[in-house]
Amino acid sequence: MSTVKNVEKAGRQFWLAGLGACLLGKEYAVKKMDELLEGTNSLVNGVLAKGATIEGELKTKLQSGFPQDEKILELREKLGLNKESKQDKIARLAAKVDALTEIVATLTVKTEETKATTSAPSKTQEAAAPAPKPAAKRTTTRKPRAASSKTTSSAAAPKPAARRTTTRKTTTQTKQSKTDSE
């Protein structure tokens, strides 16, 4: 029975070795997880600290303003965009339009008056004007025009052939033609 006891003893030792290995593995895993958790926490804390510093810098920049804002304001003043409101601009433009319509109206009246005076000339002016002479006819002899290469080439160009259409005989037409021929 000593062999049975030896086998039991060896089996118990393997069992205890397996339990010990599991316990060591668990302790190692817990230790690594703690390290990772601490590393992650320190990483997150570092990122949060950097974010807070960047946020502070942005707030100070926003409070002090951007250099582009100053340039934009200067440009708006140069263009005259800050000086008057939209209603003032509309009123000013409406006054200009009214002035222009008055000018156009006076010009149309003047042109109508000048047309009226020039369209009804007096009889003395008509009599004083001599009648226009008929134009003299040109008498030149022309040589007959030689056939140019353009006219010959266009005349020699063949016309496209007419499209040929064929009708397809159906079976009833072929049967009738066979019966007719018999």
Quick check: is 24 in a domain? yes
Tell me 81's DSSP state.
T
Quick check: is 60 in a domain? yes
Q: Which ranges of the chain would DSSP assign to H, the alpha helix?
A: 2-64, 67-79, 86-119, 123-128, 149-156, 171-181
Quick check: is 141 in a domain? no
Domain count, the chain: 1
Examine the pLDDT at 145 and tell me if it is beyond 90.
no
What is the per-residue pLDDT for 50? 93
Examine the pLDDT at 43 and tell me if it is beyond 70.
yes
pLDDT tens, residue by residue, 84-142? 678 888 998 999 999 999 999 999 999 999 988 887 655 555 555 555 555 555 666 66
pLDDT tens, residue by residue, 4-31? 999 999 999 999 999 999 999 999 999 9
Quick check: is 30 in a domain? yes
What is the per-residue pLDDT for 97? 95
Q: Above pLDDT 70, what percent of the chain?
A: 63
**Domain range for 23:** 9-66
Find out whether 82 and 76 touch, Cβ atoms under 8 Å.
yes
